[in-house]
């Protein structure tokens, strides 16, 4: 269910509900860029990242993102992989999930209840949301410290059909 500020008008509520309905489903990652204040763009998960984000009608989300060129650990089972290989794999993977709310027509808030990075649990991940033709764009509204500098990020997603 979308959480709304009491001051929202009926049209704002309808706009939030329209965004929520449009989010529902599975989206695959097309690109992930992070841009510094001076305009320098990096690709935190490489030039060909892989990912899936799912929004459910009952108000939950799950996101999985990784580098597209991650090397295999050479083990068939997680517990058989050497710790250094698991650490390398974790650095190139982002995973979290939990309930979500459309805060306003341009903002979605992910309430993290599970995450590969335990420090995100209990800390909301706020994203600016826009739609462009068949794509969903999620971004950071303000710069945050990531990969050696303060940057904004934009992730572009597309439904796989």
- Partnered with residue 131 across adjacent β-strands are 136
pLDDT tens-digit map of 106-147? 999 999 999 999 999 999 999 999 999 899 999 998 898 887
- Partnered with residue 17 across adjacent β-strands are none
Q: In terms of Cα–Cα distance, which of 91, 99, 105 is closest to 44?
A: 91
Q: For 136, phi and psi rounded to 5 degrees? A: -105, 130
- The CA distance from 56 to 149, in Å, is 34
For the chain, which residues make up each domain, given as ranges? 10-158
pLDDT, greater one: 79 or 26: 26
pLDDT at 5: 54
Please provide the CATH number assigned to the domain covering 10-158: 2.40.128.280
pLDDT at 134: 92
pLDDT at 147: 78
Range 3-9 average pLDDT = 59
- The CA distance from 155 to 161, in Å, is 18
pLDDT at 8: 67
15, burial (CB in 10 Å: exposed 0-12, middle 13-18, buried 19+):
middle
pLDDT at 125: 96
């Amino acid at each position: 269910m979308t959480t709304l500020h009491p001051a929202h008008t009926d049209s704002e509520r309808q706009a939030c509900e329209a965004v929520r309905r449009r989010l529902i489903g599975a989206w695959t990652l097309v690109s992930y860029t992070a841009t510094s204040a001076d305009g320098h763009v990096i690709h935190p998960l490489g030039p060909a990242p892989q990912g899936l984000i799912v929004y459910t009608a009952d108000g939950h989300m799950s996101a999985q993102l990784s580098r597209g060129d991650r090397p295999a650990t050479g083990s068939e089972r997680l517990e058989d992989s050497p710790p250094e290989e698991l650490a390398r794999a974790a650095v190139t993977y982002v995973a979290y999930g939990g309930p979500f709310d459309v805060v306003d027509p341009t903002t979605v808030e992910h309430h993290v209840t599970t995450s590969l990075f335990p420090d995100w649990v209990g800390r909301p991940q706020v994203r600016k949301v826009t739609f462009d033709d068949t794509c969903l764009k999620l971004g950071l509204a303000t710069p945050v410290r990531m990969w050696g500098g303060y940057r904004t990020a934009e992730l572009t997603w597309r439904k796989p059909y």
